[in-house]
Amino acid sequence: MHSNHRTTLTAAALVTAAAALLAGCQRGPSTAGGPSPSGCPSALAKAEAAVRAAENADTSWNGPVTGPAAVSDRTIVYVAQTMTNPGVAGVAKGAEEAAKAIGWQLRVIDGEGTPAGIQAALSQAITLKPSGIVVGGFDPRLTSQQVARARAAQIPVIGWHAVDSPGPSEDTGLFTNITTKVEDVARASADWIIARSHGTAGVVVFTDDSIPFARNKAELIKRELATCSGVRVLAYENIPIPDASSRTPQEVSSLLARFRDRWTHSVAINDLYFADAAPALRAAGEPGSGPPFNIGAGDGDPSAFQRINSKQFQAATVPEPLSQQGWQIIDEFNRAFAGRPASGYVAPVHIATAENSGGATSWDPSGYREAYRKIWHR
């Protein structure tokens, strides 16, 4: 507000304006009996409650505490969609740590983000005749011939973010798939926008439609945002992850020109989009602390936490517990080798912000290392 406007306001008008502003932040109907200024009082109240629960960082291990002791002398090959995807790389690092703890060998082969590269990497993995293979961040249907060869060779295959749902996937040949529930992640990120904006947001969605898991997540995000009538999706940006660094800055500049102040929030299926958006936002003179206020719906890599903690063009993330999921991969293989079923464990959803991260650069819940070592007698 400019100073010449300020002088025209009486004290009474200021009080009235302040009361209106406060009413806009409250849930439920206004005192006049009409709808809340948010336009979606019930959706806002529901989102605020969900966000409070998901932001709780004081959690204890709720995963498996029983299982087979370690089977000895096994080799695992982790086939990565691309190691430039921080989530894929973070899980690989956790799996390497867990393999060392249980006494196994683990090798990573990088598919480098292309269908041909991923197929070649999986073919190479099979020729190594490992004890188990990880499908790290890509759809096994794209490599159905190679997965069929692995099954014929009786090599268990475990996925990470490979299909939409956690748990065994008989039709794609996975002993189990490890991921948080995509519905929970999508809902949490959308609820954060609804709650953060008090039900009035102009949103840009960044996704990669070439990955079915990511496309489904983006659709679920849009569906949850639509529960609040005051939230509008301004644009749906389909940028393949391998192209994100080259395409995102240009797209962000275009979005700023198109929407200006109407663009208040963004949500991306992976945090890396905001690493690539930051230079364009900075060049346009946008504040690092927002708007637009940006939330990543996965994966919570270290650079995302650094942006969040320093308030530089990202405000929140819904992180996967990447290291814990790497340890879970090794535990699930151990169950497979021992002739046991998959554990069925699914990590609960979490929202990380500068206020609750404690300066950490990952979401690393406590207790899982000790629990798995105890199960394995290691």
Amino acid identity for residue 113 in this structure: G
User: Cα–Cα distance between 315 and 319 in angstroms, integer?
Assistant: 13
Range list of β-strands (E), 84-131: 105-110
Scan for tokens 């490979």, then name that residue: 162
Helix 182-196 to helix 41-54 angle (10° resolution) is: 120
User: Cα–Cα distance between 228 and 61 in angstroms, integer?
Assistant: 34
User: What's the full length of the chain, in residues?
Assistant: 378
State the DSSP H helix or E strand holding residue 323, giving kind and residue range, or none if neither. helix 322-337
| DSSP assigned state of 72 | P
Q: What is the pLDDT along the chain (378 residues), one digit of tens a residue?
A: 333 333 333 333 333 333 333 333 332 333 233 334 677 999 999 999 999 999 987 778 999 999 999 999 999 999 999 998 888 999 999 999 999 999 999 999 999 999 999 999 999 999 999 999 999 999 999 999 999 999 999 999 999 999 889 999 989 999 999 999 999 999 999 999 999 999 999 999 999 998 877 899 999 999 999 999 999 999 999 999 989 999 999 999 999 999 999 999 999 999 999 999 999 999 999 999 999 999 999 888 899 999 999 999 999 999 999 999 999 999 999 999 999 999 999 999 999 999 999 999 999 998 999 999 999 999
State the DSSP H helix or E strand holding residue 124, giving kind and residue range, or none if neither. helix 115-127
Name 204's bridge partners: 235, 266
**H helices present in 167-315, as ranges:** 182-196, 212-225, 244-259, 272-283, 302-309
Evaluated on CA atoms 53, 57, 61, 63, the torsion sign reads positive
Contacts for 146 with CB less than 8 Å, ≥ 6 apart: 119, 122, 123, 126
User: Cα–Cα distance between 236 and 222 in angstroms, integer?
Assistant: 9
**Cis check: omega of the bond before 73, within 30 degrees of 0:** no
